[in-house]
Structure 1
């Protein structure tokens, strides 16, 4: 579980414990009212045990705060959905995982994306996308017979960018352009597409140059879907949240990264520099 998800779980447990204390009840007294073993009250109040929705309802009623039940259950559900383990999600296959996000992209009017390690998924070209899918299959020991289908499922969203239907703001670290994914041909195809989308009126494509004095350090990538949802990814899983305070934090973070990047001709020059370095490296090898 990520630090964010773990912290949210801990904060929820603390809130339940404070509700008990505000009601003037000890752990043993609350347990007696609910007919629970005292250790269950202790484990829930310290975050060692995840309460069920029925547990939350019973806890609130016993503490005379039934009015808080809807809010607490909503928060509990949000916390449960925060952490997504890739190994579990990938059981249905990479194609299914890619297809499940399409509706979210379609209804998002402004997508803000920061990536420090790879080209954003919705901007990936066929060869690059296949390379990413192959890497995922290798890491999680998945079958490779659906790589093409998974890549096509990801590519099926790309028309949302090129059609001008929605607005997009991308910020990538310059190192993204140097990582070779899918081979030389795939990278040249990817460079061409990045240059193309950088000229679209509905797209802002920023690159943070090497050697830039950092306001903040590079970190994990994240996606802001309007001001409704944030998704960020780690090696073993991802976090998604619709908490207003978390969304506000990531929007501020994106604004800082956005201001560190260059756009237009300077961004395209960095892409062409990466292409030239790739060609020189390929010639030497």
Structure 2
């Protein structure tokens, strides 16, 4: 089953209908199935009406208890994975107001305790200077003044010692000239400064480092419950445990090639000096 953004919302309804139909064809009641799946009848009812999106573990257990044929089980498992994925289009964000997206991100950051960011192309707003943030939004067709303010307000979360942040940036992300060279040097200084916070780890992968897996997308993992992937036209939100685990695996693979601490700050100082030269 391919990831079609237009199908993501429908997948939840399709999954609910499919599971409900399978139970009825098997001649089983919700109470019978819930008892054998070790879940409440209320939860099963919510799954079958689409009010709750089940995880793959729940779906696989339901399929096993109902003795679903292997081919059907594979199709339903793929549908469950799709139902746990959300597409957030950029144009829809523009219509709603970009500052609302900032409120959503602030909520995710507030709820999470361990946050991991892989940044292959640009610096994220949490690490950015005001000039960098403003320039990064210059392509937007809507007023961005409130969005800039909200992005900068969100940076306060970095000083919450109960949270732990890890940022992995490629050299391209650090050096991509979003603003003029002098301002880029200040941006690099900003990253170096934030890296001294005890709950923040910032690492860079210099160009030329041999890494077998290409840096395909910017992505963020919030604890072990949600991952977001950025594209040019929007973002994909993964809530399925297997998708999150795969992103964590990729993150750890990149992390093994990263320079942290004084080595990272020495590289930033060298690149900033190039900008100031």
TM-score normalized by the length of structure 1: 0.73
Q: Are the aligned partners of 1:126 and 1:186 in contact in 2 as well (CA < 8 Å)?
A: no
Tell me which moved more, 114-123 or 186-195.
Answer: 186-195
The superposition leaves residues 53-102 of structure 1 with CA deviations (integer Å, 9 ceiling, x where unpaired) of 77446523542365485556414597275221111122112222212221
> Which position in structure 2 is the counterpart of 1:63?
25
The equivalent position to 1:236 in structure 2, one of 214, 233, 237, is 233
Distance (Å, rounded) in 1 between the aligned partners of 2:233 and 2:158? 28
Q: Are the aligned partners of 1:114 and 1:254 in contact in 2 as well (CA < 8 Å)?
A: yes
Q: CA deviation at 1:192?
A: 1.7
> Which position in structure 2 is the counterpart of 1:161?
158
Distance (Å, rounded) in 2 between the aligned partners of 1:275 and 1:98? 29
> Which position in structure 1 is the counterpart of 2:138?
134
Distance (Å, rounded) in 1 between the aligned partners of 2:22 and 2:243? 26
Distance (Å, rounded) in 1 between the aligned partners of 2:81 and 2:209? 41
Distance (Å, rounded) in 2 between the aligned partners of 1:235 and 1:175? 17
Aligned to 1:204, the other structure's residue is in SS state strand
Q: Are the aligned partners of 2:84 and 2:239 in contact in 1 as well (CA < 8 Å)?
A: no
Distance (Å, rounded) in 2 between the aligned partners of 1:192 and 1:99? 27
Q: Are the aligned partners of 2:117 and 2:166 in contact in 1 as well (CA < 8 Å)?
A: yes
Aligned residues: 233
Q: CA deviation at 1:164?
A: 2.8
Distance (Å, rounded) in 1 between the aligned partners of 2:193 and 2:2? 36
Tell me which moved more, 166-175 or 74-83.
Answer: 74-83
> Which position in structure 1 is the counterpart of 2:41?
none
Q: CA deviation at 1:4?
A: 6.6
Distance 1:205 1:159, change over 3 A: same
Distance (Å, rounded) in 1 between the aligned partners of 2:16 and 2:258? 49
> Which position in structure 1 is the counterpart of 2:148?
151
> Which position in structure 2 is the counterpart of 1:262?
259
Q: Does 2:73 correspond to 1:111?
A: no
> Which position in structure 2 is the counterpart of 1:271?
268
Output the aligned Cα RMSD: 2.8
> Which position in structure 1 is the counterpart of 2:92?
88
Distance (Å, rounded) in 2 between the aligned partners of 1:123 and 1:205? 10
> Which position in structure 2 is the counterpart of 1:97?
101
Distance (Å, rounded) in 2 between the aligned partners of 1:273 and 1:279? 10
Aligned to 1:96, the other structure's residue is in SS state helix
The superposition leaves residues 159-183 of structure 1 with CA deviations (integer Å, 9 ceiling, x where unpaired) of 1113434110110001112211133
> Which position in structure 1 is the counterpart of 2:168?
171
Distance (Å, rounded) in 1 between the aligned partners of 2:15 and 2:209? 49
Q: Does 2:200 correspond to 1:217?
A: no
For structure 1, the 5+ residue unaligned runs are 11-46, 281-285
TM-score normalized by the length of structure 2: 0.74
Q: CA deviation at 1:127?
A: 0.8
Distance (Å, rounded) in 2 between the aligned partners of 1:4 and 1:233? 18
> Which position in structure 1 is the counterpart of 2:3?
5
Highest Rg: 1 or 2?
1
> Which position in structure 1 is the counterpart of 2:75?
none
